[in-house]
């Protein structure tokens, strides 16, 4: 039996950490970080320090690619490369783009969600979780796109998100951090041929498949 030395313990811990973060660096159909268009954007925004890369990537996705509903367009973007091709996307697709670009730069990035709205109409809203390796913690960033009444910003301290949650209206933050999009959000995007259809198909809350994915989440925000 090999004695458990401090060096061996550190190696095992490092391997476990690498395995845990691997899904947050991986490509998928929606977060297609190996796509040539995504790689090109990643090369444009990459900086010598990760924190600077995060800030440039965030500002680029937030400002260069407007929210589809803000510009009254009909094309529906699903994947990160779709956003680059169409030039716009809703929050789901833009969160896929920010995740893809940062993953292409070697920065672990996930997805997280809020339930917004209230009364007769609620809907899931997507944003991103980005790993600050030097601080050993996740931060939330919302690249939805600003407009009158929405002023989200890049911040590693106090969160500056697009929508403060109003719990008295039934809104909530979901604490789980996901490596892949929720099934309900992907279904809504993929079944909608136009933005008008998508507006009708936005999931109002977590589906059963979403909840199963939440149970398997390996990271959570403890403060939510």
Q: Which residues contact 210 (CB under 8 A, 6 or more apart)?
A: 182, 183, 184, 203
What pLDDT is recorded for position 8? Answer: 40
Residue 47's pLDDT is 98
Q: What is the pLDDT of residue 118?
A: 85
pLDDT for the residue numbered 223: 85
Token digits for 149? 């009444």
According to the model, what pLDDT value does residue 224 have?
86
Average pLDDT by stretches of 10, the chain with 224 residues: 41 60 97 98 98 98 98 97 98 98 98 93 97 95 97 96 95 97 98 96 97 95 89
What pLDDT is stored for residue 115 in this prediction? 98
Alpha-carbon torsion, ordered 154, 158, 163, 166, to 10 deg: 170
What's the pLDDT score for residue 15?
53
State residue 17's pLDDT score: 65
Instruction: Read off the pTM.
Output: 0.92
Q: Which of 39, 169, 34 is nearest to 115 (CA)?
A: 169
Give pLDDT, residue 27.
Answer: 98
Are the C-beta atoms of 90 and 67 separated by less than 8 Å? Answer: yes
């Amino acid at each position: 039996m090999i004695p458990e030395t401090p060096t061996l313990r550190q190696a095992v811990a490092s391997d476990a950490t690498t395995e845990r973060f691997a899904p947050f660096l991986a490509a998928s159909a929606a977060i297609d970080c190996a796509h040539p268009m995504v790689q090109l954007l990643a090369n444009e925004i990459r900086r010598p320090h990760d924190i600077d890369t995060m800030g440039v990537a965030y500002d680029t996705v937030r400002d260069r690619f407007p929210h589809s509903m803000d510009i009254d367009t009909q094309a529906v973007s699903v994947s990160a490369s779709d956003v680059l091709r169409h030039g716009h996307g809703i929050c789901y697709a833009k969160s896929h783009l920010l995740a893809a670009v940062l993953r292409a730069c070697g920065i672990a990035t996930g997805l997280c969600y809020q339930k917004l709205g209230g009364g007769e109409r609620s809907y899931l809203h997507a944003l991103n979780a980005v790993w600050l390796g030097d601080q050993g913690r996740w931060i939330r960033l919302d690249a939805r796109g600003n407009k009158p009444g929405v002023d989200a910003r890049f911040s590693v301290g106090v969160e500056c998100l697009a929508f403060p949650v109003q719990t008295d209206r039934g809104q909530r933050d979901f604490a789980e951090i996901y490596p892949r999009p929720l099934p309900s959000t992907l279904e809504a995007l993929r079944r909608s041929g136009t933005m008008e259809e998508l507006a009708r198909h936005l999931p109002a809350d977590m589906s059963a498949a979403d909840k199963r994915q939440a149970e398997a989440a390996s990271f959570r925000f403890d403060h939510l």
